[in-house]
């Protein structure tokens, strides 16, 4: 690497990790690890501004492991787009711990995908994307779904999620999706079958285009599903492998049939059902079925209309 490049300059000024802090008389004498920690506590724009303090600080910010970009913190979109571009171009090749991006997409899908791909190339571990004002169609870069270092992924994107046929989320432990529309049965199932997946949160997502939604991650221990009739997939069957589940949260109207296997290890469950003013017999049976599935739970919280009891002519009792 060229020592005159930003990354090269940063590498040349690396301080020994064993530097005796008690001997440091000035802030710039501290080892890089501590200075980078200080920079991490600053807004990204202020961290970049430290480059004018001295040659010691000039390229230090290019090694910050956590990059957070929010369009609302900038006076206009042009300044934001140019700032993110420069920050990623100048950044060195060190691994990235976290990358957070909150912005409107508009007609800049290619640029935004290039930023996401840059984070993937830097072996990002935690990725948070909040994308809005999206011009259809928009497809996330395929390299994202093959990122082997990603352990946490948060996606808030009100659009159809096009998932490539090859999904390799082997390291993902936490997956949080909001306002996402699922449109492919097989590929969606691949997304929720990662061997390392431990926590899954689906908030206001839609699977109306699916006949079956499979959640089969073998090590999943926390599952949170919050839906409403505007986003829910009516008449879709949701198949859940609950062999390792210890926490289960459901908030919705039971327009789907939730078939959960296992649940022998379930410790806490939270069920909040609002069936609306015209509840159906199918909804009532689904509520009863769901309660039967979680009958071994140690701590159960019931809210909404799920606690009502309905008596049928057959004298059977069904919880609603």
The residue among 167 and 51 whose pLDDT is bigger is 167
Q: Three-state SS across the chain?
A: CCCCCHHHHHHHCCCCCCCCHHHCCCHHHCCHHHHHHHHHCCCHHHHHHHHHCCCCCCCHHHHCCEEEEEHHHCCCHHHHHHHHHHHHHHCCCCCCCEEEEEEEEECCHHHHHHHHHHHHHCCCCEEEEEEEEECCCCCCCHHHHHCCCCCEEEEECCCEECCCCCCCCCCCCEEEEECCEECCHHHHHHHCCCCCCCEEEEECCECCCCCEEEECCCCCCEEEEECCCCCCCCCCEEEEEECCCCEEEEEECCCCEEEEEECCCCCEEEEEECCCCCCCHHHHHHHHHHHHHCCCCCEEEEEEHHHCEEECCCCCEEEC
Res 13: pLDDT: 44
pLDDT band at 112 (very low <50, low <70, confident <90, very high): very high
Question: Residue 210: how many CB atoms within 10 A of its CB?
Answer: 22
pLDDT at 150 over 60: yes
83 burial (CB, 10 Å; 0-12 / 13-18 / 19+) is middle
Asked whether 138 and 106 are in contact (CB, 8 A), the reply is no
pLDDT band at 60 (very low <50, low <70, confident <90, very high): low
Phi-psi region of 179 (alpha: psi -120 to 50; beta: other; left: phi over 0): left
Please name the residues in contact with 218: beta carbons below 8 A apart, sequence gap of 6 or more. Answer: 195, 241, 243, 244
pLDDT at 134 over 50: yes
Please name the residues in contact with 194: beta carbons below 8 A apart, sequence gap of 6 or more. Answer: 169, 170, 172, 175, 217
pLDDT at 5 over 90: no
Q: Which residue has the tokens 């259809």?
A: 136
- Give me the residues paired with residue 193 across strands: none
Phi-psi region of 180 (alpha: psi -120 to 50; beta: other; left: phi over 0): beta
Question: Residue 128: how many CB atoms within 10 A of its CB?
Answer: 16
- Which tens digit of pLDDT belongs to each residue from 12-59? 444 444 444 444 456 666 666 777 677 676 677 777 776 666 666 656
Asked whether 213 and 239 are in contact (CB, 8 A), the reply is yes
Mean pLDDT of 251-255: 88
pLDDT band at 308 (very low <50, low <70, confident <90, very high): low
pLDDT at 177 over 70: yes
Res 320: pLDDT: 37
Res 125: pLDDT: 97
Q: Return the structure tokens found at 168.
A: 């390799």
pLDDT at 11 over 80: no
Res 267: pLDDT: 96
Q: Whole-model pTM? A: 0.82
Mean pLDDT of 208-215: 89
List the single range of 86-95, 128-137, 191-200, 302-311 with lowest mean pLDDT.
302-311
Mean pLDDT over the full length of the chain: 82
């Amino acid at each position: 690497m060229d020592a005159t490049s930003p990354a090269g300059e940063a590498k040349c000024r690396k301080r020994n990790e064993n530097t005796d802090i008690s001997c440091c008389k000035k802030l710039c004498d501290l080892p890089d690890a501590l200075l980078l920690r200080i920079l991490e506590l600053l807004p990204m724009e202020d961290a970049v501004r430290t480059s004018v303090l001295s040659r010691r600080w000039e390229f230090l910010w290019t090694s910050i492991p956590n990059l957070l970009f929010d369009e609302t913190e900038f006076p206009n979109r042009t300044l934001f787009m140019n700032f993110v571009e420069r920050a990623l171009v100048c950044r060195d090749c060190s691994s990235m711990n976290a990358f957070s991006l909150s912005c409107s997409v508009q007609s800049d899908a290619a640029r935004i995908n290039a930023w996401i791909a840059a984070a993937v190339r830097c072996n990002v571990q935690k990725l948070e994307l909040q994308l809005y004002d999206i011009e259809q169609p928009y497809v996330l870069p395929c390299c994202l779904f093959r990122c082997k270092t990603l352990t946490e992924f948060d996606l808030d994107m009100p659009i159809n999620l096009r998932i490539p046929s090859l999904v390799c989320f082997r390291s993902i432990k936490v997956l949080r999706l909001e306002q996402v529309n699922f449109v492919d049965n097989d590929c969606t199932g691949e997304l929720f079958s990662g061997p390392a997946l431990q926590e899954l949160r689906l908030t206001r997502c839609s699977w109306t285009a699916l006949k079956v939604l499979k959640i089969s991650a073998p090590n999943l221990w926390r599952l949170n599903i919050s839906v409403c009739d505007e986003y829910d997939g009516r008449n879709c069957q949701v198949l859940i492998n609950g062999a390792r589940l210890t926490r289960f949260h459901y908030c919705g109207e039971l327009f789907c049939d939730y078939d959960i296997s296992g649940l022998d290890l379930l410790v806490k469950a939270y069920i909040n059902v609002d069936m609306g003013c015209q509840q159906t017999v199918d909804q009532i049976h689904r509520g009863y079925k769901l309660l039967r599935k979680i009958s071994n739970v140690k701590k159960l919280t019931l809210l909404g209309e799920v606690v009502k009891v309905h008596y049928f002519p057959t004298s059977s009792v069904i919880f609603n």
